[in-house]
Amino acid sequence: MAKKLKLSDNKQKWVNKFNPNLIVGEPLRPNHDIEKKTVRKVERLTNKMIKEFESEVINLFKKESPAYFAQDASISSQVRILLNKLEDKFYSMFKLEGNNIADYMTNSVNRHSKAQMQNSLKKLSGGLSINVKDLSAETKETLKASASQAASYIRSIQADYLDAAAGFTYRSITQGEGLKDLIPQLQLLSGKTLRNAKLLALDQTRKTNATLDEARMRQNGITKFMWNHSSAGKTQRQTHVEFDGQIYDLDDPPYDRMVGKKVMPAELPYCRCFKTPVIEFN
């Protein structure tokens, strides 16, 4: 059972005197610097793969005459050998670096979440310096799972890119005119892949932040939160605009009619909403 948050003597006297309906803590905002650094790491890794793939394939094509692509089976064999080599290399590269990036992101978000929670609890309690305990064993496992999931999503960037790039490469041999068709397709794929990598990195960082914030709220006796809409982004979920400023229970979040289920801030893909811990008096 969650403990009750202790209030300072002055805060308790104020509560007894004025009988407020609500005490509001500091908002638990995601750290944009951590987001930017995580994005840069993922983009750098992704761009390294893209540049090497393009360089290797283009160099191979330049050694062969485009006029013989459709008739010469050797180019297809050489492409297959090259793509298998690149697939093995990129898989190992993304497995290692993906785990490193996920660990950086998780550890950085964990420190940020702890500091923000301490500030929020201090405001709620009326100035008490409350020690934010280490995460429970259960929450630590949840954190490990978040890191594993983030690493898995990062590895998916490699798999998705290579599937599409390999398809373009083979079709440029059998149906097209070699590099004349292939280069524009790879350029379009490059832009799409880098955009998706950025969105993925941001999304995983925010989800991890939200998971840790909720865990720390529960451990310190806070069961209610105010929904904060970020008002950022070109498009906004109308339901999340409606949730803004409303009070909800951690065990009973609002129903999002657009997706047909109850949701928490930052739960849905690319959601930038966040929580503010509150104490609500009946």
Q: What is the pLDDT of residue 233?
A: 63
pLDDT at 118: 92
What is the structure's pLDDT at 146?
Answer: 87
**pTM passes above 0.85:** yes
- Write out residues in the chain with pLDDT < 70, as ranges: 1-2, 64-73, 133-134, 232-234, 282
Going by C-alpha positions, the residue among 215, 281, 209 that lies closest to residue 35 is 209
Provide the pLDDT for residue 90.
97
